[in-house]
C-alpha cells in the first residue's frame, strides 16, 4: 500500500511539474511574440524662452517606433512649436542643423531603448537644453546625436524621444 501511495504521489508531482514547465513556456512564447511587434509612441519637449523682448515657444514632437527593445525609427511629428531658430536656413555646405536633421533622426535607429533613456541632457530652469558652451553642459551622447552649433535642437529631440520611450 505504501508503494502504491508513493507511486501516486510521484505521478502527481510529475504531472504538476510538466504543467508548470508548459505554462512557463507558454508565457515565455507570448512575451516574445508581443516584444517583436513594432510599437510607435509620441513624445514631446517644449518650453518658452525669452530673448530680449521676444518670447518663443520652442519644442519638438516626435514619433518613435520600437521593436524588440531597439529604436527602429524616429520622425518629427507636426506641432506648433518652433523647432529650430527661425533665422536658420538650409545651406549648400550641409553643415547646419536643418541640413543634418535627417541624419540625426536616422542615428537613433538601432539604439537600445534603455541606453537612450539613460542619456542625460542638462537643462536650464526654463527646460531649455544647455548649449555646449554653457556651464553644466554634459556631453550626453556620441557625436551622431549632436550637431555642432545646434545643441539645443538636438537636446530637444533627445528629450522628446525619451518622453516617448517612457510611455512604453
What's the pLDDT tens digit per position in 9-31?
555 555 555 555 444 444 444 44
Question: Do 116 and 85 sit in the same domain of this protein?
Answer: yes
Q: Quote the pTM value.
A: 0.76
Q: Which domain holds residue 20?
A: 1-35
What confidence tier does 92 reach under pLDDT thresholds 50, 70, 90? low
Question: Do 20 and 62 sit in the same domain of this protein?
Answer: no
- Lowest mean pLDDT segment, chosen from 52-61, 71-80, 108-117, 153-162: 52-61
Question: Do 126 and 58 sit in the same domain of this protein?
Answer: yes
Burial 113-126 (b: 16+ CB within 10 A, else e): beebeebebebeee
Amino acid at each position: 500500500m505504501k508503494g502504491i501511495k508513493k507511486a501516486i504521489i510521484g505521478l502527481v508531482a510529475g504531472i504538476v511539474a510538466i504543467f508548470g514547465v508548459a505554462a512557463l513556456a507558454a508565457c515565455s512564447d507570448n512575451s516574445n511574440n508581443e516584444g517583436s511587434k513594432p510599437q510607435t509612441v509620441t513624445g514631446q519637449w517644449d518650453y518658452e524662452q525669452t530673448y530680449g523682448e521676444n518670447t518663443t515657444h520652442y519644442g519638438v514632437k516626435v514619433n518613435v517606433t520600437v521593436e524588440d527593445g531597439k529604436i527602429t525609427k524616429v520622425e518629427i511629428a507636426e506641432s506648433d512649436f518652433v523647432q529650430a531658430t527661425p533665422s536658420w536656413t538650409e545651406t549648400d555646405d550641409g553643415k547646419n542643423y536643418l541640413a543634418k536633421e535627417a541624419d540625426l533622426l536616422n542615428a537613433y535607429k538601432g539604439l537600445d531603448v534603455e541606453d537612450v533613456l539613460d542619456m542625460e541632457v542638462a537643462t536650464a530652469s526654463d527646460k531649455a537644453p544647455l548649449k555646449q558652451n554653457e556651464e553644466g553642459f554634459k556631453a550626453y551622447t556620441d557625436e551622431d546625436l549632436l550637431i555642432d552649433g545646434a545643441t539645443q535642437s538636438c537636446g530637444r529631440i533627445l528629450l522628446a524621444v525619451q518622453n516617448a520611450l517612457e510611455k512604453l
